Every structure is written in C-alpha cells, then in structure tokens.
Amino acid sequence: MDAAPGRPGIEPAGFAPRVVAWQRAHGRHDLPWQRSRDPYRVWVSEIMLQQTRVETVLRYYEPFLQRFPDVRALAGAPLDAVLAQWSGLGYYRRARNLHACAQQVCERHGGEFPRERAELEGLAGIGRSTAAAIAAFCFSRREAILDANVQRVLGRAFALPRPRDAASLRAMWQLAESLLPARHIEAYTQGLMDLGATVCKPAGPDCRACPFAADCPGPADAAEAAPAARASRGAARRTREWVLLWARSDEPDAARVWLQRRDAQGIWPGLWSLPGHDDAAAALRQAAELGEVLDQQAREPVRHALTHVDLLLRPLLVQLRARPRAADEAQHAGWFTVDEALRLGLPAPVRKLLGG
C-alpha cells in the first residue's frame, strides 16, 4: 500500500479515532433513525437506504413507521399494504423482503430482533453489512460494515483497488475488521457512512472536508473515476415504450379501473398496474374483452426513469360499459374503485395517474 508521492499515508491505528472525531464534529446527527436504538427503526432505515438517496428516504421513513409502528404490525399486514406504502421508493424486492423478515422475527424470535450479526444475517433481505450496522447501532457490537460507500472510503484511504473478486473482497473485509475501534463503535460506523455519502463521493469528492486530506494516498482516485466515467458516457440508456390501458367503467356508485398484478420478475415485479401493451391496437383489443368501448382518449406521455431503462408510458383512457366480471383470481386482475386501487402496491407513475 504505497502512498502517493509527497503523502505520508494513513496509519491504520489512527484511522478510527480520526473518523470518530470527524463524525462528532462534522457528521450527520439529525437523521430521524439516529434518535433511537430500536432495531426495528434502524433496520427499516437501513433497508430503505440501500441504493436510495437519504433525501428520498426522508420522505418515506416516518409515514412508513406511522403505518407500521413495530415489527408485529408489519408482519401482520397484507403484502399489498406494504407495497402500497413503499410505492415510489423502487427496488420493490426490498419491500417484499422487509415483510418476510418481519414475519421471521415474529415467528423465530418472538418479535425481538437478534442481537448478534450472524443471527441477523439469517433473516430475509439482511446481508452482512446491514446486519453489522444493526448490531453496531442497536447493540454496540464491534462489527464492520462494508457497503459500496465504505469500500470506496477504505479503497482511497489505503490505496486499494475496488474489489473485483471474492479474494479481493475478502481482503477488504479483513481490513475493515482490523480498523474497528475498541470503543465508540456507533460514532465510527456512522462516520464511515457519512464520509462515503457526503465527502468521499464517487465523483467530485470534497477532499478539503475530509479528515484524511493531508495524508490520503488517493483522494481523487483518477484510476477509479476514469473507467467509470468512460463507461457512463459509452453506455446509452435503453428506452422502453408501453401503452397503458387505462380502462375505466363508470358504475352507479363509483368509477372503476381495471388493474393486473405484474409478474414476480421484470419491471415492477408483483405490483398492481394498468396493463401495458406494445401498441394502442393491442390495448384496445383487451379493452373490447372487458366491455363495450364508449370512448377513448390518448393522454400525455409520461417518462419514468428506472435504474437501467427509461420508460415512456402512453396512457390510453378508455371509457367502457363493462361486462359483469369479478376479479380474475387466476390472472390476478380485476375492477377496483380508485380508493381501492390506491390501497394496493402501485408503481409510482400509475399511482400518480390515478390521483394518488
């Protein structure tokens, strides 16, 4: 681990104390999940923060806890209610794992989260780093975290390449464990998270604000940034276009819309949605199967960005005199009032279309 010319390099023994001191002086202290050592609240925040910005999570965290105030409330809720509350956060597999994990905590552990990392790792959706964070924040366990942000901090601080295989990842875990302080594990763990999120960012790191600015061997890490920048420029995002059949039947008591549950794989897995079609003709064929078409109107297209693809959604509002038809359990489809629909797990753009 040679330091860059002119930089002395970071002493491993002094790494943790400097992180702790920096966190206490400059780190984040006002995030809502920092106000409690309740493992339920910490766990929910950790799952929400996976691949999601803090600013986004702040809009969802408290409403989620109001709807599901403890692990038993979450475990006993219908999955659709959980997905509905999660709508807009994306990566919906996290919500399904959250629900499954809550049930496991209740069934296997009497409604109490395990205190040890190894036991936490045995629960749905909790990996090693998330388990370590819960154990450190809630039970003061000396456990190392190593999410993508922390990998970047340690990689730059100790001039290590980004882990590309099991051996290099294992070596970085060993480094992370060797740096753990004997005390103040909560402040140290939070400090690593704060450094990675606010200072040692992937692009444009704020090196002047870093506690290791004077001796970090790779604060700008051009070797890491350049390939990523080239890949970003070279990888054109795909656009996928759907016509959304917005079939609406005006009933005496309330208008109803036809929704279908999407497959467990692919885009919006397991969520309820307006049916998507390749073109308007296909959408109208389905509409004709649902009832007599009275009117149709193409609505303004909606663009929605997912991680690896952009969706161009073209809503086609079709007024129907619907044939009597109950919910199709086999196809996971049916007529719903708008109020009923908004209580289901809907993709964010569909929820917005329906008025949610």
Catalytic residue among 46, 55, 241, 300: 46
Residue type, 177: E
Q: Is the Cβ–Cβ distance between 320 and 287 less than 8 Å?
A: yes
Question: Do the beta carbons of residue 96 and residue 274 sit within 8 Å?
Answer: no
Greatest CA separation for the chain: 79
Contact by Cβ (8 Å): 338, 255: yes
Q: In Å, how far are 7, 10, 29 from 1, measured between CA atoms?
A: 12, 10, 33
Burial 154-190 (b: 16+ CB within 10 A, else e): bbbbbbbebbeeeeeeeebbebbeebbeeebbbbbbb
Residue whose tokens read 């969802």 = 60
Q: Does the annotation count 46 as an active-site position?
A: yes
Cite the active site residues: 46
